Amino acid sequence: MLFPTVRMQRYRQSPQIRQLMAETHLEKADLIMPVFINENLKDKLAIKEIPDNYQHSSESLIPYLESLVEKGLSSILLFGIPQEKDSLGTQAYNPKGIIQKSISRIKKEFPKLVVIADCCLCEYTSHGQCGVLKEGRLDNDKTVELLQKVALSYAEAGVDIIAPSGMMDGMIAEIRKSLDQSEFTMTSLLSYAVKYASSFYGPFRIAAGSKDTFRGDRMHHQLAPSQKREALREALLDVEEGADYLMVKPSLPYLDIVRTIKEKTLLPLSIYHVSGEYAMLKKAAKDGIVEEFEAFQEIFLSMKRAGADFIINYYTEEMLKRLGN
Ligand code: PBG
């Protein structure tokens, strides 16, 4: 059947019909908010490079989260900035470290909030790399041993989901093993399975305090943007190793990867709209090039359409306000 019998515009005549037709939905529960906690701070500090986002002190964090939980915040992803850094990132697995203390405090205050903690050493090492260095290169296996310690300390603090982000080989299998040995069988793993060596992480590296110390690139462990089959292999390996959730990061340049992983695995899939992607859009909105909320909504819907189940993003606070009840 063709025109004039068929008229596609019949579906678009009113907001109500369009709503009835909507194939993809963006909901508050899809949003995961990154939260930075800085041990050096007494009060919250605006992150200039990630507009409308903050580094929090352990004190400022609770009232801030309270206001967001009221607006429907359901999940957060924690990053810590320690007072002291060293070559082994020891503060990352200090049971009294900034993240460990914050996890217990948050779970006590907001038992229903899903607390995810990033598990990597780059915020904690004096050289800003994601693990232990040997002759200028990352020592994968030694790094994984330390990540196991980090993960256990998070589990002990009561975290819901641990998110290893360093792209180390075997990290998921080894962390799962040590969690299970310590009877943390219900602590979940969200693997940053497919993390590209991207130019869109700049603002984050400033916010997480790894900019000044970090030298060189991360091409030895993160994926090159040219790689698709390799990305799929990373994801499939993490499925085998026991990941509960997968992630693709950054987001917009890699929606093809999201689609492929969605088709080839059965795991829930998250996508990370990273700091550089966010900052570019905020700048465009500030300069009047796009309408901010509409642009974010359009981009987030594209991620859901591609197959993402949850979206880690720096626009969560505003989106929660805009999405209403
Ligand atoms: C590593 C990590 C990075 C991001 C999240 N976790 C950055 C990196 O590889 O330097 C970047 C996120 C963003 O840009 O928003 N712990």
Give the model confidence (pLDDT) of 72-122 as tens digits. 999 999 999 999 999 999 999 999 999 999 999 999 999 999 999 999 999
Helix ranges (H only) for the chain are: 15-21, 58-70, 98-109, 140-157, 171-181, 202-207, 229-241, 255-264, 275-286, 292-306, 316-323
The verdict on whether 107 is a catalytic residue reads no
The verdict on whether 283 is a catalytic residue reads no
Establish whether residue 162 lines the binding site of ligand 1, counting it when its CB lies within 6 angstroms of any ligand atom. no
Mean pLDDT along residues 14-35: 97
**Which pair of structure tokens corresponds to residue 247?**
């992630």
90 vs 174: CA distance, rounded Å: 19
Ligand 1 centre distance from Cα of residue 260 (Å): 23
- Please give the mean pLDDT across all residues of the chain: 96
Phi-psi region for residue 188, left (φ > 0), alpha (ψ -120 to 50) or beta? beta
Ligand 1 centre distance from Cα of residue 277 (Å): 12
**Which pair of structure tokens corresponds to residue 133?**
């260095």
Establish whether residue 100 lines the binding site of ligand 1, counting it when its CB lies within 6 angstroms of any ligand atom. no
Establish whether residue 120 lines the binding site of ligand 1, counting it when its CB lies within 6 angstroms of any ligand atom. yes
Structure pTM? 0.96
172 vs 148: CA distance, rounded Å: 9
Task: Specify the pairing of strand 114-119 against strand 45-46.
Answer: unpaired
**Residue 34 DSSP class:** E
Are 115 and 106 in contact by the 8 Å Cβ rule? The answer is yes
Work out which ligand 1 atom sits closest to the CA atom of 273: 15
Ligand 1 centre distance from Cα of residue 9 (Å): 43
295 vs 282: CA distance, rounded Å: 10
Mean pLDDT along residues 151-176: 97
Predicted confidence at residue 211, as pLDDT, reads 63
Residue count (the chain): 325
Q: Give the pLDDT band (50/70/90) at residue 214.
A: low
